[in-house]
Structure 1
Amino acid sequence: MPELIEPFTLSIPDEQLTDLGERLSRTRWPDAETVPDTSQGPQLAKVRALHDYWLHTYDWRRCEKTLNGFGQSRTTIDGLGIHFLHVRSPEPDALPLIMTHGWPSSVLDFRKVIGPLTDPAAHGGDPRDAFHLVVPSLPGCGFSDRPAAPGWGFPRIADAWITLMDRLGYQRWGAQGGDLGCAVTDEIGRAAPDGCVGLHLNFAMFPPTPEEIKDATAQEQAMLDSAGWFWENLSGYARQQATRPQTIGYSLADSPVGLAAWIYAMYQDTCGTPGDAEASFTLDELLDTVMLYWLPGTGASSARTYWEMARASRPSAPTPAEPVTVPAGFSMFPAEHVRKSRRWIERRYSNVIHFSEPAAGGHFAALEQPKRFTDDVRATFRSVR
């Protein structure tokens, strides 16, 4: 039955873990960078330390137990198998919320907020702020299927998520996303299905117009400068994946250290402590994410999401001419390189019900600043429950 929802339990064969260890033990290392900073990419000493921890200390079974403890399922939508966490609140009036990760994230980016969002009373919060959470893996990521043909752009993913919420029996629900998950959530907002009562975004994908750039305030100019620096200096991964995902895919599929460095670079460059990933994330957190790309072999398939985005028939963000009307809340974390001002946002989202600029945090907000992220999600949906 294509509409069947089946429980999914992870149990990676020991042979896969043994193979990983053997590959790690045979790593062929490049020369060290010739600069004292991260301007050439992740530093050799940092990646070697990550590798040594991975080989000698890291415990995948701990991560596996965490995922199985949340409760995992799979279902087929539009011909593709979709993996998702489904964590129901003990509160009967909880609002269902679908949360979408980006790249190179995973469902585990939300691990620290799942408890507080589903059971606020157990974490010092108001039980009236409770959510039932649905956290899917993007197509081609984690333990969702890898598309075998082009066409899985953000509108199609959004349609699949709307179908998923309906299949789970949720009639009123919200949507949350950051990074590529923001694009999916934007498309849900554009579709404005009857059941969707609101959105929360910790990213905004639209480009400012020439007029907005010309009339930028000092704060907005600082945002433009930060974004420009990011696209000029840190966006090589996006250009590669948007144009030749298959080329990098061979390295991502064959070399665990190659995959780890490709992913580590993003956490290093976009966290709240730029250039120092370990100051924002533990090695276990970083490697858990890498494993959710290594074990299912989704390096190339996840990269193709950028190829799909580059060939989309329409921009993956709302415009002033076609604003999203679904109520929306925003969190612009300060170390996010690509930030937007409230006035720019309000031209593209006609019903902004929450806007915050937290004091700390970067691109991976739920993992890095779980309390502030949780507070903002709660505040966004409080008025639309």
Structure 2
Amino acid sequence: MITPYTIAIPQEDLDEVQSRLARVRWANELPGVGTDYGEPLAPIKRIVTYCREGYDWRVWEAKLNAYPQFMTTIDGQTIHFLHIRSKVENALPLILTHGWPTSVIDYLDLIGPLTDPHSYGDKKAQAFHLVIPSLPGFGFSGPTHETGWNQYRTARAWAELMQRLEYNRYGAHGNDWGSVLSPEIGRFDPEHVVGVHVTQIFSEPSGDLAEMEALSSQEKELWQNFHWWRHHRGLYHPLQSNIPQTLAHALADSPVGQLAWHYQLIGDVVSDDYIISNAMIYWLTNTAASSARFYYEAAHPTMTPTSPTTVPLGLSHFGNDHPAIRSFASRDHANIVSWKVYEQGNHFATQAAPELLINDIRSFFQQ
């Protein structure tokens, strides 16, 4: 059963956030160390001050409620999703999946151009019916109440969701965790998935020294830079993959902690409103723990496919993101039909390079 849903956060929940922010106890820090020890105090104070004095959750609640939203239960788990049908006759159903530490907010600015390209200056562009779900355990789909919710189980759930919506031919797009699980939808539902478009392919070295030696000098530099980032700025990944519940005790009790945890990954490459709105969704739904558990479940799967995906796959890689190494990717995905690399943008392409991303999604699925 699918039921309509409207976000309506009680005012007392918003008042509690303000009360906790007003009583914050700031962490101490060492002088002159920059970001060597993690996020310094100044930017966290700035974003907390804006959250108290300038940010308005109701504005973002209204932005989400401007689109049809629904709830359903799949495999025992509540699933929240937006569903926006295009008025264009030949529109292709497309499921868009966000990652961590973001939410369905990622795709708000893409809804108009993708569902109604005619009104955005391109009468020949591919149009889409959009399905935008919250990942299990994230935001309004959470929390999860049992183990096992990883990219594979979620991919099966998304295939079931599209079947419930009576979409027999559809595409998938994703960023971050959405990039990981979207090709798996094609693996599990090849009869109905026409193609998958992603903004990352997280393929790792196999351990074969010859494979690394075969890389170009540019690819080797990209991988070395990413290796540095992973061991200095990307430590949230092993933490959430191994002890997510320990971290969750702090995040579930402190909105400042939740904001800081989001900011340390996102930084100043997007607006404070975007960072705060995503953090607020995690806070208001108390899904810090269950969203972090997604990492644990992915790192401890009960099943792992042993063959490459074969669904037609397209990549749009944006600047300063996880390196795109074609030889690694081809080992994990046997049917890469589009490979585009841009210097512009960043990991959060819906915010940093929306026009490029929209055009790539359109052109990929027009194939």
| Shorter-normalised TM range | over 0.9
The answer to whether the Cα contact below 8 Å between 1:192 and 1:326 also exists between their aligned partners in 2 is no
User: 3-state DSSP class of the match of 2:148?
Assistant: coil
Alignment partner, residue 356 of structure 2: 372
Structure 1, 39-48 or 346-355: larger mean CA deviation:
346-355
Cα offset, 1:282, TM superposition = 1.6
- Which of 66, 71, 88 does residue 74 from structure 1 map onto? 71
The answer to whether the Cα contact below 8 Å between 1:139 and 1:146 also exists between their aligned partners in 2 is yes
Matched, 1:334 2:323: no
Structure-1 separation of matches of 2:332 and 2:26: 47
Structure-2 separation of matches of 1:197 and 1:360: 28
User: 3-state DSSP class of the match of 1:82?
Assistant: strand
Matched, 1:98 2:87: no
Cα offset, 1:33, TM superposition = 4.6
Structure 1, 208-217 or 32-41: larger mean CA deviation:
32-41
- Which of 254, 275, 297 does residue 286 from structure 2 map onto? 297
TM-score by length of 2: 0.96
Map 1:131-142 → 2, pairs under 5 A: 131-142=128-139
Alignment partner, residue 237 of structure 1: 236
Considering only aligned residues, what root-mean-square deviation do their CA atoms show, in Å? 1.5
The answer to whether the Cα contact below 8 Å between 2:83 and 2:131 also exists between their aligned partners in 1 is yes
Cα offset, 1:372, TM superposition = 0.8
Alignment partner, residue 284 of structure 1: 273
> 1:137-157: per-residue Cα shift (whole Å, max 9, x none)?
011101003221211121111
User: 3-state DSSP class of the match of 1:129?
Assistant: coil
Structure-1 separation of matches of 2:198 and 2:338: 10
Alignment partner, residue 22 of structure 1: 19
Structure-2 separation of matches of 1:32 and 1:124: 51
Structure-1 separation of matches of 2:105 and 2:159: 21
Matched, 1:254 2:253: yes
Structure-2 separation of matches of 1:101 and 1:256: 22
Structure 1, 221-230 or 343-352: larger mean CA deviation:
343-352
Structure-1 separation of matches of 2:36 and 2:200: 24
> 1:299-350: per-residue Cα shift (whole Å, max 9, x none)?
01100011101101455xx77xx222111110111210x2123343334323
Letter in 1 for 2:40: Q
Structure-2 separation of matches of 1:131 and 1:30: 47
Gaps of 5+ in 2: none
Cα offset, 1:35, TM superposition = 3.6
Structure-1 separation of matches of 2:235 and 2:333: 30
Matched, 1:344 2:328: yes
User: 3-state DSSP class of the match of 1:200?
Assistant: strand
Cα offset, 1:19, TM superposition = 0.6
Structure-1 separation of matches of 2:70 and 2:47: 31
User: 3-state DSSP class of the match of 2:9?
Assistant: coil
- What number of residue pairs does the alignment pair up? 365
Letter in 2 for 1:304: R
Map 1:301-340 → 2, pairs under 5 A: 301-314=290-303, 322-336=307-321, 338-340=322-324
Structure-2 separation of matches of 1:174 and 1:344: 24
The answer to whether the Cα contact below 8 Å between 1:91 and 1:127 also exists between their aligned partners in 2 is no
> 1:265-307: per-residue Cα shift (whole Å, max 9, x none)?
1102xxxxxxxx1xx3221111111111010010011000111
Cα offset, 1:362, TM superposition = 1.1
The answer to whether the Cα contact below 8 Å between 1:89 and 1:130 also exists between their aligned partners in 2 is yes
Letter in 2 for 1:299: A
Alignment partner, residue 219 of structure 1: 218
Structure-1 separation of matches of 2:355 and 2:104: 17
Structure-2 separation of matches of 1:358 and 1:18: 43
Structure-2 separation of matches of 1:166 and 1:42: 44
Structure-2 separation of matches of 1:162 and 1:44: 44
Structure-2 separation of matches of 1:350 and 1:308: 25
Structure-1 separation of matches of 2:277 and 2:67: 15
Tell me: CA distance 1:126–1:223, structure 2 relative to 1, closer, same or farther (3 Å): farther
TM-score by length of 1: 0.91
Tell me: CA distance 1:17–1:342, structure 2 relative to 1, closer, same or farther (3 Å): same
User: 3-state DSSP class of the match of 1:30?
Assistant: coil
Gaps of 5+ in 1: 269-276
Letter in 1 for 2:290: S
